[in-house]
Amino acid sequence: MTAQDRRLAGWRLRYPSVADLEPLAKRRIPYFSYDFLQGGTGRELSRPRNMAALAAIEIISRHGLDVSDVDISAELFGRRYACPVVVGPVGMDGAIWPGATRHLAETARDSNIPYMTGTLATGTLESVAEIAPENFWFQLYGMPSEDHRVSLDLVRRAKDAGAHILAVTLDVPIPPRRVRDMRNRLGTPLRLTPRMVTGMLARPRWLKALAREGLPRFANMTSYCREGASKTELDTFVAKGRAGSMTWETLARIREAWPRALVAKGIQHPADAEKALSLGLDGVIVSNHGGRQFDASPATIDLVPAIRQVVGERMQVLMDGGIMSGTDVLKALACGADAVVVGRAFMLGLAALGADGARHVARTLEDELRIAIGQSGACNRAGVANLMIRHHSAWKMDGPAGGPRNKNDKLEELGQ
Structural domains of the chain sorted by starting position, each given as residue range(s) with its CATH number in brackets: 3-385 (3.20.20.70)
Beta bridge partners, 317, equal: 284
Query: Quick one: pLDDT at residue 398?
Result: 60
Query: Quick one: pLDDT at residue 347?
Result: 98
Distance CA 118, CA 416 (A): 39
Please choose, from the candidates 12, 107, 61, 111, the residue with its C-alpha nearest in 3D space to the C-alpha of residue 330.
61
Cα 169 to the center of its chain, rounded Å: 11
Q: Is 325 in contact with 368 (CB distance < 8 Å)?
A: yes
* 73 three-state secondary structure: coil
Q: Alpha-carbon dihedral of residues 315, 320, 324, 325, nearest 10 degrees?
A: 0
Distance CA 73, CA 135 (A): 14
Kindly state the greatest CA–CA separation across the chain: 66
Distance CA 219, CA 213 (A): 13
CA distances from 219 to 26, 43, 69, 126, 224 (A): 26, 31, 43, 10, 10
With a CB cutoff of 8 Å and minimum separation 6, the contacts of 35 are: 180, 181, 184, 186
* 155 three-state secondary structure: helix
Please choose, from the candidates 120, 342, 253, 293, the residue with its C-alpha nearest in 3D space to the C-alpha of residue 262.
253
Looking at residue 298, what DSSP letter applies? P
* 133 three-state secondary structure: coil
Query: Quick one: pLDDT at residue 396?
Result: 85
Of 289, 360, 391, 392, the active-site residue reads 289
* 285 three-state secondary structure: strand
Distance CA 321, CA 317 (A): 14
Query: Quick one: pLDDT at residue 319?
Result: 98
Length of the chain (residues): 416
Query: Quick one: pLDDT at residue 244?
Result: 66
Other Cβ atoms less than 10 A from the Cβ of 377: the count is: 18
Going residue by residue through the chain (416 aa), what tens digit of pLDDT does each one get? 898 989 999 999 999 999 999 999 999 999 999 999 999 999 999 999 999 999 999 999 999 999 999 999 999 999 999 999 999 999 999 999 999 999 999 999 999 999 999 999 999 999 999 999 999 999 999 999 888 999 999 999 999 999 999 999 999 888 888 999 999 998 877 888 999 999 999 999 999 999 999 999 999 999 998 888 888 889 888 888 776 678 999 999 999 999 999 999 999 999 999 999 999 999 999 999 998 999 999 999 999 999 999 999 999 999 999 999 999 999 999 999 999 999 999 999 999 999 999 999 999 999 999 999 999 999 999 999 999 999 999 998 764 333 333 333 443 333 33
Distance CA 261, CA 339 (A): 15
Beta bridge partners, 118, equal: 139
Query: Quick one: pLDDT at residue 415?
Result: 34
With a CB cutoff of 8 Å and minimum separation 6, the contacts of 130 are: none
Looking at residue 406, what DSSP letter applies? S
What is the model's pTM?
A: 0.93
Please choose, from the candidates 386, 338, 341, the residue with its C-alpha nearest in 3D space to the C-alpha of residue 75.
338
Query: Quick one: pLDDT at residue 257?
Result: 97
Distance CA 267, CA 281 (A): 12
Q: Is 280 in contact with 317 (CB distance < 8 Å)?
A: no
Is 360 one of the annotated active-site residues of the chain?
no
Would you call 380 exposed, middle or buried from its count of C-beta atoms within 10 A (0-12, 13-18, 19+)? middle
Exposure string of 13-34, with b = 16+ CB inside 10 Å and e = fewer, is eebeebeebbebbbebbbbbbb
Q: Is 344 in contact with 386 (CB distance < 8 Å)?
A: no
Cis peptide before 189 (omega within 30 of 0): yes
Task: List, in sequence order, the alpha helices (H) in 282-325.
Answer: 300-311
Q: Is 97 in contact with 354 (CB distance < 8 Å)?
A: yes
Distance CA 313, CA 8 (A): 38
